[in-house]
A and B are shown apart, each in its own frame.
Chain A
Amino acid sequence: MNFDWHYFFSLFTQLPAYVPITILMAVLSMILAIFIGGFLTSLQLSPVAPFRGFAHLYISLFRGMPTLVQLFIIFYGLPQIFPALRGLSAFAAVVFGLGFKQASYLAEIFRAAVNSVDKGQIEAGQSLNISRSKLFLNVVLPQATINALPATGNTFVSLVKETSLAFTLGLTELFGDGKMIAGESFKYFETYLAVGIIYWILIVVYTWLQHLLENALQKPYRRTANVINRSKEPVSENRPEASLETH
């Protein structure tokens, strides 16, 4: 087997230098995607038909095109039509391109998450005269956030990996650096394997952090305290005093 272990391990001291730019691109794209995705969800849930139509068109368009094509349209195509965009950096083009695209996936995830909140709670809020905006912010949004978290996390995982497309716009990030190193050393297998493992480590660490967050946020929905509560049965200690014959 022609595998250079020494070279392979040495890559783990070189390649991580490009991890920060990879993470920065992914995080900025994700923030943009969350804002646009949230806005699209509000359009999707709007009673105004043209708003829903626009959201539908946006989602269809950005989900239907390959990411690479979108990045090329933004980086190479748009400056042709809008000269003011000639100074657009590859970094910004990647952040906008990935952000716009992932927003279309997030919009669908957010819409499903909002719709999955039990309608009975909304009715209860309405019957108690709580305004729609207060109900949304205080009842629907906290629960929808938890519902949306696993799928949103998956979107972020995809995004981290898609940042490797930035190399096609001439931006050196983790994959781009690996490609150049491989080109110099001709040790393709060792290099790309190391690059792949570093992406994998990033995803594993992120998944662990998300798991911690989900656990913390799901606290109100856990039934564990129920066992203690039922065994103590505070009801019997502290019953309403009236009897059925009081009226």
Chain B
Amino acid sequence: MKHINLSAEEGSVTAFVGPSGSGKTTLLRTLNLLQLPSEGSVKVGEITANAGDLHKKTIRDLRQNSAMVFQQFNLFKNMTVKDNVAKPLIFNGLANKKEAEETALNVLEQVGLSGVAEQYPVTLSGGQQQRVSIARAVAVHPRVILLDEPTSALDPELVESVLRTIANLASKHVTMILVTHEMEFARQIADRAVFIEDGAILDQGPADDLLSGTRPGRISSFVNSLSHPTIRKEA
């Protein structure tokens, strides 16, 4: 990544878009310090983490302010859906067992999955697993939720339920930064969009404008190529 200078307003949704391998996911993971930056700094809420001065405590404090949703869901396979959501609260000392379970059921209700609270992740569809993963992130009340291509690993018919869940959070002004290839969705729910290519930010601005496909520059050809994929006929 190079020359990254980016900020996201509290309560806003920011979408990272760009070709595969451009560095979107790397940038997102850096915000949670799953990927440690070699230079520069990351600030979430009041916590600033400077590269070269990344103590364990700084990393933990920063992660207290953010939560991540992964492409492959990454649910704890040995725990029930309810425990997947409740245990991080208990482990972080944010709630006792009873409170954590109440919060878990409440958040699962919000994503429409209270009915599967006692089931294990393997018994759920990909879409359901991803919504549990979103519920798990929401439950710890982070300042920002980071979503890394949350629908990329899903069968097409399961994508909608996950997008609805994310849209629901956006309507409640939950701060989110989202890596996605779902251009139309990003355009609808994101306040800002950031176009990343070759590890650098090539363009950023209001999502509605940036992802319209009419803005001059490389972004339009990228957006249009996703909206209208063309296959050249072999001669």
Tell me the A residues contacting B by CB distance below 8 Å.
118, 120-121, 123-131, 134, 138-139, 142-143, 219-226, 229-230, 234-235, 237-247
**Bound complex: CA A46 to CA B80 (Å):** 30
| Cβ 8 A contact of B92, one of A129, A237, A241 | A129
User: Do the beta carbons of A238 and B112 come within 8 Å of each other?
Assistant: yes
Q: Given the complex, which residues of B lie within 8 Å of A245, measured CB to CB? A: 188
User: Do the beta carbons of B115 and A237 come within 8 Å of each other?
Assistant: yes
14 A/B residue pairs, CB under 8 Å, sorted by A: A123-B34, A127-B67, A128-B68, A129-B140, A131-B60, A134-B91, A220-B122, A225-B119, A234-B115, A239-B164, A240-B164, A242-B164, A242-B167, A247-B189
Tell me which of A118, A125, A127, A238 has the highest count of chain B C-beta atoms within 10 A of its own C-beta: A127
User: Does B13 belong to the interface (CB within 8 Å)?
Assistant: yes
| Cβ 8 A contact of A243, one of B66, B79, B167 | B167
Residue of A nearest to B136 (CB): A128
Residue of B nearest to A229 (CB): B123
Given known pairs A124-B74, A234-B115, the reply for A130 and B92 (CB within 8 Å) is yes
| Cβ 8 A contact of B77, one of A126, A221, A225 | A221
User: Does B195 belong to the interface (CB within 8 Å)?
Assistant: no
User: Do the beta carbons of A225 and B123 come within 8 Å of each other?
Assistant: yes
**Bound complex: CA A118 to CA B122 (Å):** 14
Residue of B nearest to A128 (CB): B88
Tell me the B residues contacting A by CB distance below 8 Å.
13, 32, 34, 60, 63-64, 66-68, 70, 72, 74-80, 87-88, 91-92, 109-116, 119-120, 122-125, 127-128, 133, 136-137, 140, 146, 161, 163-165, 167-168, 170-171, 185, 188-189
**Bound complex: CA A239 to CA B163 (Å):** 12
* Given A124-B136, A219-B120, A245-B188; 17 other pairs, CB 8 A cutoff: A118-B74, A121-B76, A127-B68, A128-B63, A131-B91, A142-B78, A224-B123, A226-B125, A234-B115, A235-B113, A240-B110, A240-B161, A241-B168, A242-B168, A244-B163, A247-B167, A247-B188
Q: Given the complex, which residues of A lie within 8 Å of B189, measured CB to CB? A: 244, 247
The tally of CB-CB contacts under 8 A between chains A and B is: 140
Q: Given the complex, which residues of A lie within 8 Å of B120, measured CB to CB? A: 219-221, 225
Tell me which of B113, B146, B163 has the highest count of chain A C-beta atoms within 10 A of its own C-beta: B113
| B204 to A: closest C-beta gap in Å | 19
User: Do the beta carbons of A226 and B123 come within 8 Å of each other?
Assistant: yes
Closest A-B pairs by Cβ, 3 of them:
A242-B168, A234-B115, A246-B171
| Cβ 8 A contact of A220, one of B77, B140, B146 | B77
Given known pairs A128-B140, A240-B111, the reply for A121 and B167 (CB within 8 Å) is no
User: Do the beta carbons of B122 and A221 come within 8 Å of each other?
Assistant: yes
| Cβ 8 A contact of B122, one of A138, A226, A237, A240 | A226
